[in-house]
Amino acid sequence: MRQDSLAGGFWGHSLLKDLLRHLVHRGFEARYLAWPELRVRRVLDPLRRDGLVQSAVNTTIATLRLSGLFPSPLAALETYGKFGLRKALDCVNLRKSLDCPEIESGIARRARRFLPPVARTHGDDSGVEVRERRLPCRDFNFVMIDNGFGNYGRGYCEQFHLFPGLYDYLASLAVIVMHVLLVHRIAQNDPAHVQRRRAFFGTSSNAETMTPPLALVVEAYPKRLPHARHIQQALVVPNPVNRSRPNEDVYFLVLSVRSSQEGPS
């Protein structure tokens, strides 16, 4: 028998899964999970400082600056903070405040080692915080949604559950950056995932749902805006190909949201 088959059976055991989840809250597994991200960060940071490589977040920030849409200083929210090593750390030096909720308390505690004291890193579910109206402030001007794909967590799907409630926590001028899945080349899709996407985007077929026109995706978010706000501009920024997900094309959808009382820029 192959060694990886033995390992898969061992690690897939339900009791061991329960034990690992318990260890997350005590911080042991959090250290193990943080190591690959920290190792990548230590390799890439010097290259980024020398301008040899750019992260998707850096590219998005540069695009916003060129468009005159980048808010400064940042009052930022990263809805899925994890360790803060993937997204939050890229903009942490530009902020006046940074809120990073992370549902796993062990991971949230570990994140405090990587982020400066100004970052509010805490074990909480951003979806619940939005729904129960208990995010710490109502003037975020930069929101990063590093969402997953498919159905996950407490009945969540992509970032759909955050809208329209998230709009209530924005400053009069704000930017939302979120992952959007524009191409999904998998023959067998989860019917529940397809149903949620179809309801949110208003697509006419399952095929269109999993590879929707960009205009249809962009229009889905303004439809959920309160009357007091409007989308000033929408941008799409390519996200580097993830080799572990070769059948998906993921982009950053960037929305510049303005209070209607502000008038045109």
Question: Any idea where the domains of the chain sit in the sequence?
Answer: 54-262
| Choice between 10 and 38, residue whose per-residue pLDDT is larger | 38
247 confidence band (pLDDT: 50, 70, 90): low
Question: What are φ and ψ of residue 93, in 5° steps?
Answer: -80, -5
Please report the pLDDT score of residue 155 as a whole number: 86
**Angle formed at CA 233 by CA 242 and CA 221, multiple of 5 degrees:** 70
Most confidently predicted of 28-42, 69-83, 152-166, 172-186? 152-166
Average pLDDT of the residues of the chain = 76
Please report the pLDDT score of residue 159 as a whole number: 92
- Residue 140 burial by Cβ neighbours in a 10 Å radius (0-12, 13-18, 19+): buried
Q: Is 53 helix (H, G, I), strand (E, B) or coil?
A: coil
CB 237 within 8 A of CB 60: yes
Angle, helices 14-26 vs 3-11, to 10°: value is 70
Please report the pLDDT score of residue 116 as a whole number: 67
Of all residues in the chain, the percent with pLDDT exceeding 70 is 63
CATH for 54-262, options being 3.10.580.10, 3.40.640.10, 3.40.190.10, 3.40.50.150: 3.40.50.150
| Choice between 176 and 9, residue whose per-residue pLDDT is larger | 176
Angle, helices 14-26 vs 28-49, to 10°: value is 60
Residue at 88: amino acid letter: A
Residue-wise pLDDT for 59-72, tens only, equals 888 888 888 988 88
Q: Report residue 24 as tokens.
A: 């997350």
197 confidence band (pLDDT: 50, 70, 90): very high
235 confidence band (pLDDT: 50, 70, 90): confident
